[in-house]
Structure 1
Amino acid sequence: MMDMNAPQLSLGVIGAGAMGTGIAQVAATGGIDVIVFDTRPGAAAKACEGIAARLSKRAAEGKMPTEDADAAAKRLHPAASLTDIAPCAIVIEAIVEDLTVKTELFSELEKLVAPDAILASNTSSLPIGAIAAGLQRKDRVAGLHFFNPVPVMKLVEIIRGPDTTEAVAEALFVLARRLGRTPVLVKDTPGFLVNFGGRAINTEALALAHENVASPAEIDAVMRDCYGFRMGPFELMDLTGVDVNFPVTRFIYESFFDDPRLRSTPMHRYKLETGQLGRKTGRGFYSYAEGAEKPSADTRTGANPASAVFIHGEMRGLETLLAECGTDILASDDGTAPILAAPLGEDASAYAARNGLDHRRLVCIDMISDTAKRVTLMTSPGAERAVLESVIAIFQEARAVTAIADSPGFIGQRVAAMVANLGCEMAQTGLASVEDIDLAMRLGLNYPKGPLELADAMGPEIVHRILTAVQALTGDDRYRPSQWLRRRAMLGLSARQA
C-alpha cells in the first residue's frame, strides 16, 4: 500500500458530478495527480476544465498563489475509459446512490487496480459492507464520505466495513489530512454519523409545523435567535433540497425499523411529490420567486404592556428579564394580572391544570433558550387574547417576540432536546466517539454546539425532564430518552462522560 503522503501518489475519481469534481479539486490542490472518469462522454474533461477555471479565479482574487493554481490544474487528467484508472493507488467512487450500480463498479475496479490499491466510496448512506460483499478483497474497501461543497466543508467520515483493515483506515486518515480535511471514524450504519444525527432537527421542526404549533418562519427564527443555529431547519431543507433530504430521511427511518425518533411527516413527502423542492425549484417551505418576501416570525401588538405580572413556579431568570423591561412582579396572584410561568416540557394546558391556575391568564415563556434577541410565548386554548397581548407588549420594544400555539416543550425545548437525545443515542450505540460525534455535527452541519455539548449546556437532567414530560403528554415514544442520557441525568454526570 502506497504512503498517502507520497509525492507521486495518484488518485482516481469516478463520477464527475458535484461531489466527484469537488474531491478532484481538493486532491489536486493537495499535490496529488488525479484521474477523473465519468460514463458520460466529455463529462470528465469538462469537470477538469471547470476546476482549472475555479482555481484560476481564486488566484485572480488573491485567494491562492497563481503558481499553486496552475500546478493543481496540471495534475488533473480526464480518463478516456475506466482502464485509465488502473495505475491509481486509491480510487474514490462518487456516483449515483444505487447499491447495484456501485457494486458493479467496484467489481470492475477490483480487476483493474493493483492488489494493494484502496477502493473507497463517497456514499452518504449505503452500507460499506454491502458494497464490498461480492468482492475478492473486501479488506481494502472503505467509506470516505465528503460533504458538499467539498472545497468548503472540512469534515470527512471514514467508515470501516466488516473486513476493512486497520491499515486502510489509517491510510485514509493520512489522505484526509493531506487534503486539508478533518477525518472522523464512523461505524458502518445507515446514514453514518452526520446524516443520521441530522434527522432530529429537521423531523422535529416538521412535527411542530404539522401540529400547527408555529409556521416554518417562526420555527426557524426561534432556532436561530434563541438556540444559535446559523440556519433554521426549514431554511436548511430548502437549501439542500427536499429531493435530497426526504429520501435520506425515509431511508434512515426504514433502516432503523421505523424508530419513531426518526419519523418525518406527510408535509415532507408532499413537498417532494408536488415538486416544491426548495431553492432549486423556486419554492419549498418558502417562496424564492423574484420579489418574494419571507414571512415574518414576529408577533406584535398595539396593546399597552401589563404594568405587573405574577410569576408562578421556578423563575429561571424570568425576574431579571422582567426587570430589564421595567415590569413589576407581584408577590401573590391578585386574580387579574397575567400569570407568567417557565415550564419544562409541558404545554400551558398541562401546567395550568397541574397547578390549579387560571388558564385564561397564564402565559408561558421559554426560559431555557437565550432570550437576548427573541422570546417565545405560549398560551392554552381559551386564553384571553388581551392578556397575551399585554405580555407581548412588555417585551416587544426590547426584543422580538414569537407567540405560538400550545405545545409541550415550546419550539426550542423540543427541537434542542431531540438533537441532544439523538446525539446521546449515537454515543450509546458506539456510532463514533463522543468527541467525534460533537466534532462531526459542528463541521458537517454547522451546529453551534455538538449534540452532547448541547446536552451539557442545557443540563442532562433538564433535557431528560423535557423529553419525559413531552413523552408523557403526547404518548409518543418519539420522545423516549436515550439510556445514555437517562443514566447521566440520574447520576448528575456530563453527557460527554463515557
Structure 2
Amino acid sequence: MAVSDKDFTVGVIGAGAMGQGIVQVGLEGGCKIVLHDAKPGGAEAARDLVFGRLDRLVEKGRLEADAVAAMKERLEIAADLAGMAPCQVVIEAVFEDLELKRRIFGELEKHVAADAILASNTSSLPIAAIARGCEARGRVAGMHFFNPVPLMKLVEIIKGPETEDAVAATLAELGRRMGRTPVTVKDAPGFLVNTGGRAYTTEGLRLLHEGVGTPAQIDAIMKDCCGFRMGPFELLDLTGIDVNYPVSMIVYEGYLHDPRLKTVPHHKALYEAGRLGRKTKAGFYRYDDKGGILDAPSPDHATDAAAPSTVILAEDDPRLTEFCAGLGISISEVDDGVSPILCAPIGEDATTLAARTGRDYRRLVALDLTPDISRRITIMTAPGADPAMRDAVAALVGREGRKVTAIQDSPGFVAQRIRAMVGNLSCEMAQIGLASPAEIDLAMTLGLNYPQGPLAMVDAMGVATTCRILDRLQAITGEDRYRPSLWLRRRALLGLSATMAA
C-alpha cells in the first residue's frame, strides 16, 4: 500500500506529549491511526486531549468541522500490541529506555505484516541498538519528531546501518503527508539536531564557567548581535535541565568524549539540585507563575563617564578606523600615554593582543565588530585594566543609543566563540556524513529556529575568519575543544564555501 492511499494506517505506541503530537499530525495528514499505551486508560486520555486540540483549531478557523469529525473516525485505540496488526508503519514513542524499546520491537514483529515498517521516535538512542534484537532489521529506522510536534515542521529520518533505502524513503513520504519536512540522517549519537544543537548551549555554558559574562549578558549578545530568538541560557531553561543535561551526556559519551561536546559542572549541579528551568521556576534564571524571568541583572553596562576626545588604535585595522570615523572620534597617530587604546581582535583576547603588540594593557579596550552592532556592542578589557578606560569607551560607543555589554577577557569575545563553535560542529557533521550540507542547514533552522543555517553562518562570518577564530582559541586555551574541523580548514585554505559538498 502506498503512503498516499486513503486507508494507509499508522500505529503509534506511547500516548505522552510526543505520541499525541504524532497522532494529531497523522490524522491531519489523512492517515488512519491506531494508538496504544501501556498505562490503563492512557490512550483514551490522550485521544480526548488530541480531539480537544483539533476542536480548538476548528474554533480558530484553522480546520473545518467536517474534516475534524472525519479525523476522529480514523482513530482507533488498541488494547495491546496485537492491535498493531493492520498498520503499514508503527511509530514507537515511549520514553528513552533502550531495553524497553527492544522489547516493544521484538513483540511487534510477532503481530505486524512482514513488510510493515517499524520506526522509533527516539531522540538520541542508536537505531542499530534498537534494531539489534529484531529478525528483520532492514525495516527498522528512526522517525524523530520535535516537540511540540504540531508546530515543529522538521522530522529526522534516521537510517540504521541495515535500514533499507525504500524504508527511509517511505518514512520521508509519510513525514511529508503529515505536513513535516523530512531530513535523512545517518545513525549516530544524537543524530543531527541534538548533536548540532550542543554547540550553542555548551559554549554559552563554557563562557559562564570561565566567568566571561552572566547568563543575561551572554543571552543579550546572542539575541541582539547575532539574531537568535533565544539566548543559550533562556533556551536551556525552556527545554529543561532534566532534558538537555542527559542528552548532552548521551551525545558526549556517544562520541567518546570529544571535547567539542563537553558541558560544564554547573550544568550537572543544576540537574542534581532539581533546578530544571521554567518547569521548576528556577534554573539559570528565576521565573514567575507565567514563565517570566524574575530579577535578572541587566546586560547593559551603565556609566556616567565622559566619552574621550581622542583614541589610539592598537594596530592598523581598517574596520576599526571606519568604526571610529562613524563615531566622529579623533584617532591619534602618536600614543599620548593617557587616551584609551582600541582594538578589534579576531579570536584573541585583550591580554594576548596587548602582549603581542606591546600596547599598555591598562588602557586597552577591545571591541567586537564581527556581528551586528547596530543595537548592542560587546567590549572587554584585560585583567588589571583601568576601569575608567572601559567606562570612557562605553560612553563613546553607546552615546547614540546603542547598548553596551562589558565582559571579562575572552578569546573571541562571546559572539565569535559561540558562532564559530556552532559552525564548526556542523562542519564536522558534514565531514562525517551525518547529512548533506543543505540538509544540515535545513534541519538546524527548522529544528532549532536558528537565524540561518550554521554552514551558511560560517560563510557569512567568512570561512577563513571562522577557522582563524578557532585556531586562536585553540592556541590560547590549549584545548582541542576548539580544533577546526577538517571540513572547515580545507575550505578555508582553498577559499571555498562551507556549504560546498565534498
- Check if 1:480 corresponds to 2:483: yes
Secondary structure, aligned partner of 1:472: helix
How far the C-alpha of 1:234 sits from its partner, in A, is: 0.5
Contact 1:14–1:38 (8 Å) recurs in 2:
yes
Match of 1:427 in 2: 430
Q: Look up the match of 2:325.
A: 323
Show the 5 A alignment for 1:147-158: 147-158=146-157
State the alpha-carbon separation in 2 of the partners of residues 159 and 305 from structure 1. 57
Residue 255 (structure 2) pairs with residue 256 (structure 1): yes
| Counterpart contact for 1:210–1:267, Cα < 8 Å | yes
Q: 1:287 to 1:314 in 2, by over 3 A?
A: farther
Change (3 A) 1:414 1:316: farther
1:362 counterpart = 2:361: no
SS of the residue corresponding to residue 103 of structure 1 reads helix
1:417 aligns with 2:420: yes
Partners of 1:203 and 1:386 in 2: CA distance: 33
CA distance in 2 between partners of 1:36 and 1:452 (Å): 39
Look up the match of 1:284: 283
Compute the displacement of 1:314 (Å): 4.8
Report the number of matched residues: 497
CA shift at 1:426, angstroms?
Answer: 0.5
Q: 2:362, 2:382 within 8 Å by CA — same for their partners in 1?
A: yes
Aligned to 2:396: 394
Letter in 1 for 2:438: E
Q: Do the aligned partners of 1:55 and 1:73 also contact (CA within 8 Å) in 2?
A: no
Distance 1:231 1:392 in 2: 25
After TM superposition, give the deviation of residue 334 of structure 1 in Å. Answer: 2.2
Whole-Å separation in 2 of the counterparts to 1:490 and 1:116: 49
Q: What does residue 385 of structure 1 align with?
A: 387
Q: Which is worse superposed, 333-342 or 175-184?
A: 333-342
Residues 116-265 of structure 1 mapped to structure 2, 5 A cutoff: 116-265=115-264
Q: Could you tell me how far 1:332 is from its partner in structure 2?
A: 3.3
Q: Report the alpha carbon displacement of residue 497 of structure 1 after superposing the two structures with TM.
A: 1.8
Q: What are the superposed Cα offsets for residues 224-272 of structure 1, whole Å, 9 maximum, x if unpaired?
A: 1111111101100100000000000011111111111000000000000
Give the Å deviation of 1:316: 5.3
TM-superposed deviation, 1:478: 0.4
Secondary structure (helix, strand or coil) at the match of 1:112 reads: coil
| 1:294-333 aligned within 5 A | 294-315=296-317, 317-333=319-335
Q: CA 1:169/1:316 → structure 2, altered by over 3 Å: closer, same or farther? A: farther
Matches of 1:293 and 1:440 in 2, distance apart? 35
Q: What is residue 73 of structure 2 aligned with on the other side?
A: 74
Quick check: 1:56–1:70 contact (8 Å CA) kept in 2?
no
User: Does the Cα contact within 8 Å between 2:315 and 2:357 map onto a contact in 1?
Assistant: no
Q: What does residue 336 of structure 2 align with?
A: 334
Q: Residue 448 of structure 1 aligns with which residue?
A: 451
Structure 1 residue 296 displacement after superposition:
1.1
For 1:71 and 1:395, the matched residues in 2 are separated by 61
**8 Å contact from structure 2 (residues 185, 434) kept in 1:** yes
Q: Distance in 2 between matches of 1:321 and 1:287?
A: 38
Q: Name the Cα RMSD after superposition.
A: 1.2
Distance 1:495 1:334 in 2: 44
Contact 1:313 1:342 in 2 (8 A): no
Query: Which secondary structure state, in structure 1, belongs to the residue aligned with residue 312 of structure 2?
Result: strand
TM-score, normalised to structure 1's length?
A: 0.98
For residues 117-163 of structure 1, give each alpha carbon's deviation from its aligned partner in whole angstroms, at most 9, with x where no partner exists. 11100001111111111111111111000000000001011011121
Distance 1:48 1:285 in 2: 36
Contact map agreement 2:10 2:34 (CA 8 A) in 1: yes
Q: Does structure 1 retain, via aligned residues, the 8 Å contact 2:314–2:357?
A: no
| CA–CA distance in structure 2, aligned partners of residues 393 and 66 of structure 1 | 60
* Matching residue's letter, 2:465: I
For residue 102 of structure 2, what is the aligned residue in structure 1? Answer: 103
More displaced stretch, 421-430 vs 73-82: 73-82
* Residues in 2 aligned to 1:311 and 1:27: alpha-carbon distance in whole angstroms: 61
Opposite residue 497 of structure 1, the aligned amino acid is: M
Separation of aligned partners in 1, 2:55 and 2:130:
37
1:299 match: secondary structure: coil
| Deviation, structure 1 residue 77 | 2.0
Distance 1:396 1:234 in 2: 25
Equivalent residue, structure 2, for 1:12: 11
Q: Distance in 1 between matches of 2:437 and 2:424?
A: 13
Tell me if the contact between 1:261 and 1:477 (Cα under 8 Å) persists in the aligned partners. Answer: yes
**Are the counterparts in 2 of residues 51 and 73 from structure 1 also a CA contact under 8 Å?**
no
TM-score between both structures, scaled by the size of structure 2: 0.97
| Structure 1 position 64, deviation (Å) | 2.1
Q: Which runs of 5+ in 2 are unaligned?
A: none
Structure 1 CA distance, aligned partners of 2:236 and 2:66? Answer: 39
1:100-122 deviation digits (Å, cap 9, x = unpaired): 00000000001111111111000
CA contact (8 A) 1:300 1:396 kept: no
AA paired with 2:211?
Answer: N
Give yes or no for contact 1:316–1:342 (8 Å, CA) kept in 2: no
Are the counterparts in 2 of residues 33 and 76 from structure 1 also a CA contact under 8 Å? yes
| Mean CA deviation greater in 393-402 or 306-315 | 306-315
Deviation at 1:32, TM superposition (A): 0.7
- State the AA in 1 paired with 2:427: C
- Structure 1 distance, partners of 2:193, 2:112, is 31
Q: Is the partner of 1:36 in helix, strand or coil?
A: strand
Q: How far off its partner does 1:9 sit?
A: 0.7
CA distance in 2, matches of 1:131, 1:137: 12
Matched residues, percent identical? Answer: 56
Residue 69 of structure 1 deviates from its aligned partner by: 2.3
Q: CA shift at 1:325, angstroms? A: 3.2
Q: Which digits, 9 at most, give the CA deviation of each residue in 1:88-110, with x for residues without a partner?
A: 11100000101100000000001
Alpha-carbon spacing, 1:314–1:33, altered in 2? closer, same or farther (3 Å):
farther
Q: Distance in 2 between the 1:50 and 1:319 partners?
A: 61
8 A contact 2:365–2:379 mirrored in 1:
yes
